[in-house]
Amino acid sequence: MKEEMKYLEALSKQYPSIASASTEIINLNAILSLPKGTEHFITDVHGEYDQFLHVLKNGSGAIRRKIDDAFGPAMRTDEKKSLAALIYYPKLKLEEVKKTETDMKEWYRSTIYQLICICKKASSKYTRSKVRKAIPKDFAYIIEELMTGHPDEVDQEAYYNEIIHSVIETKQAEELIVAFADLIRRLVIDHLHVIGDIFDRGPKPHLIMDELMRYHSVDIQWGNHDIEWMGAACGSEALIATVIRNQARYGNLDILEDGYGINLIPLVRFAMETYKDDNCDCFGVHYRDDDVTPNDRELDEKIHKAISIIQFKLEGQVILRNKNCGMEDRLLLSKIDTKDWSVTVDGKKYPMLDHSFPTVDWENPFTLSSAEEEVVTKLKAAFLNSEKLQRHVSFLYTKGSLYKVFNGNLLYHGCMPLCDDGAFKKVSIFGKEVWGRNLYDYIEEYARKGFYALDESEKRKGLDTLYFMWAHPDSPVFGKRKMATFERYFIKEKETHVEVKNPYYQLIDQESIVNSILEEFGLDIKNGHIVNGHVPVEAKKGESPIRCNGKLLIIDGGFSKAYQPTTGIAGYTLMFNSYGMILAAHEPFESVEKAVREGSDIHSQTLLVERTTKRITVADTDTGHKMKDMVLDLSKLLEAYRDGKIVSE
């Protein structure tokens, strides 16, 4: 009782009178009755910036639905496409319109009226206060007047029309149109969930990160490729080498040099000198385009090999200093027999495809040569001193986590590590055995130490944890028995390339397994869902992203072009609005230019995952539950005012 009175006295500072407390109760109860905002789920974008940006701008079709709601059959299909393109890319579309439109003033007037109409539709589920906060400041007064005015009433008709007329005459029409388009996109999607893997394979992850940092409301569940970059930015030498190798493998080294300002010249010089007589046949590069000169290709392959050997050494060092970590089978450099150039994997000998290892001391195979040591030191300094990379990774730590429970749904990138019988796998980490939700919480704690810890020993544990999250068989974001990178480079036999998945992926069609995971995270097994990424769904083979009667949604459909031949589509996205859940399967995005010029959009097939019998309101959300608690607290404060226990102003 004493603690409650202290809390109420503190609350009275914010609501010092009966009137102010009553007003807030009325306000909160009114908000609770509004429809919930739309959540947008996206995963495994892998650096595909153009497709990501378009899906973000069109809200997986939500903008087109708002246009249809606003105009229905009164507007032609080609006009709807043009209007949608204007909302997606207002500045580019305006330039395109000016090339052909003969009466721009009339076009401005008509377009502004259309945008007002759509904006009213998009804002209908929000309070005036929330809409006001979303309006671009430069046009706050004008937009608010246009959205709340009544041009169909005689008293306001002239006033309303004069606002639009004056905007056009003062040459502010284009800026107002851009502001309206930005506001519509902001209102159509209330919150964005990114279920991991922003980085690797595609060419522009840094631009995706810039876009996410500008987004109004977002959370991120870390994927294994995000963890890899986070570890590199924190200073994990093994993950620095892994990041560079991945970029070298896919012809994306310019991401590091141009995107993040990381100087690769020391590595380039080392590779050219050390492997100058090596054809590096095992280290081909998967370029997106074929316009690469033979000299550039040869250099990239030498860089690719140089950093790969460095990576295998540095990984070995991590494994060796963490005894009994469960990854001793990955110490493959020490299993090479130089007499016959074979390597032993899982107890079986295989011939090596490459016999050139000029920097490996076979007595101490995981020790860097002095030249390699110098390269790694310089690369580490470059990663730690990249202002943009540090800013992006700081954002991932601030807005991200291994999992999130949000509005009755459990979001994570990879898997819940399971035993063959479906029990939660017990994992030993720094002498402590953890499983289930505790496994997620414990390794996330150490992942954060990799970035934030000041104590050197705790920092090192954090860095090693980030590596194990990337490659350990019991990592929730990896979920495979091994990462067969070494085997893919050096062994011809495909049997060694197989990466066996955690039993999770064989058991998730069993509803009892999904229910046990939902219960572990405190969710209702009747209404809860797991939203999952990481493993591409092979839609062209008939695989479904919807499992266990809709309780599990695997929404990795191949945003990355590297996966699209496997999936047959170009990604899934999920929408969760006040009516239920809608899954969209997207075809590849052609180009921004075509979208602006022709109004072409990503063609998407939508599938209703779940429709509610009763429209979901704010009261049903996590925010709503907090509001209800606040209403109870304010009601107690009112009672204290009226009983004289606290003096009202």
DSSP assignment of 188-202: H-SEEEE-S--SSSS
What is the token pair recorded at 140?
């706050």
Statement to judge: residues 225 and 373 lie in one domain: yes
Statement to judge: residues 275 and 349 lie in one domain: yes
What pLDDT, on the 0 to 100 scale, is given for residue 602?
60
Alpha-carbon distance 553 to 572, whole Å?
A: 10
With respect to residue 211, please indicate whether it lies within any of the assigned structural domains. Answer: yes
Phi and psi angles of residue 64, each rounded to the nearest 5 degrees, phi first: -60, -35
What pLDDT, on the 0 to 100 scale, is given for residue 323?
87
Could you tell me where the DSSP H helices lie in 508-562? Answer: 511-520
Q: Which of 44, 16, 35 is nearest to 121 (CA)?
A: 35
With respect to residue 581, please indicate whether it lies within any of the assigned structural domains. Answer: yes
Which of 456, 485, 514 is where one domain is finished?
485
What pLDDT, on the 0 to 100 scale, is given for residue 463?
97
> Using one digit for the tens of pLDDT, what is the confidence trace for 166-192?
999 999 999 999 999 999 999 999 999
Question: How many structural domains comprise the chain?
Answer: 3
- Measured from the Cβ of residue 4, the count of other Cβ atoms closer than 10 Å reads 11
Alpha-carbon distance 417 to 429, whole Å?
A: 14
What is the token pair recorded at 333?
């450099």
Average pLDDT over residues 361-365: 96
> Using one digit for the tens of pLDDT, what is the confidence trace for 542-556?
778 888 888 999 888
Q: Which of 128-132, 510-514, 583-587, 605-609 has the highest mean pLDDT?
A: 510-514
What pLDDT, on the 0 to 100 scale, is given for residue 318?
97
> Using one digit for the tens of pLDDT, what is the confidence trace for 51-82?
889 888 988 888 888 999 999 999 998 899 99
The two most distant CA atoms of the chain are separated, in Å, by: 96
- Nearest 5°: the CA angle 367, 373, 379 is 130
Statement to judge: residues 228 and 162 lie in one domain: no
With respect to residue 516, please indicate whether it lies within any of the assigned structural domains. Answer: no
What pLDDT, on the 0 to 100 scale, is given for residue 155?
66
Statement to judge: residues 93 and 153 lie in one domain: yes
Statement to judge: residues 372 and 441 lie in one domain: yes
With respect to residue 544, please indicate whether it lies within any of the assigned structural domains. Answer: yes
Statement to judge: residues 279 and 325 lie in one domain: yes
What pLDDT, on the 0 to 100 scale, is given for residue 563?
67
Q: Which of 195, 104, 124 is nearest to 415 (CA)?
A: 195
Statement to judge: residues 166 and 283 lie in one domain: no
Could you tell me where the DSSP H helices lie in 322-435? Answer: 370-384, 387-399
> Using one digit for the tens of pLDDT, what is the confidence trace for 225-267?
999 999 999 999 999 999 999 999 999 999 999 999 999 999 9
Statement to judge: residues 183 and 96 lie in one domain: yes
> Using one digit for the tens of pLDDT, what is the confidence trace for 133-142?
998 888 888 8
Q: State which residues form the domain around 8.
A: 2-33+627-643
Q: Which of 534, 532, 444 is nearest to 480 (CA)?
A: 534
Average pLDDT over residues 327-340: 95
Alpha-carbon distance 62 to 68, whole Å?
A: 10
Statement to judge: residues 631 and 555 lie in one domain: no
Statement to judge: residues 145 and 220 lie in one domain: no
Statement to judge: residues 448 and 575 lie in one domain: no
Statement to judge: residues 348 and 440 lie in one domain: yes
What is the token pair recorded at 259?
């995107």
With respect to residue 496, please indicate whether it lies within any of the assigned structural domains. Answer: no
What pLDDT, on the 0 to 100 scale, is given for residue 601?
66
Which of 463, 485, 507 is where one domain is finished?
485
- Measured from the Cβ of residue 2, the count of other Cβ atoms closer than 10 Å reads 6
With respect to residue 297, please indicate whether it lies within any of the assigned structural domains. Answer: yes
pTM: 0.93
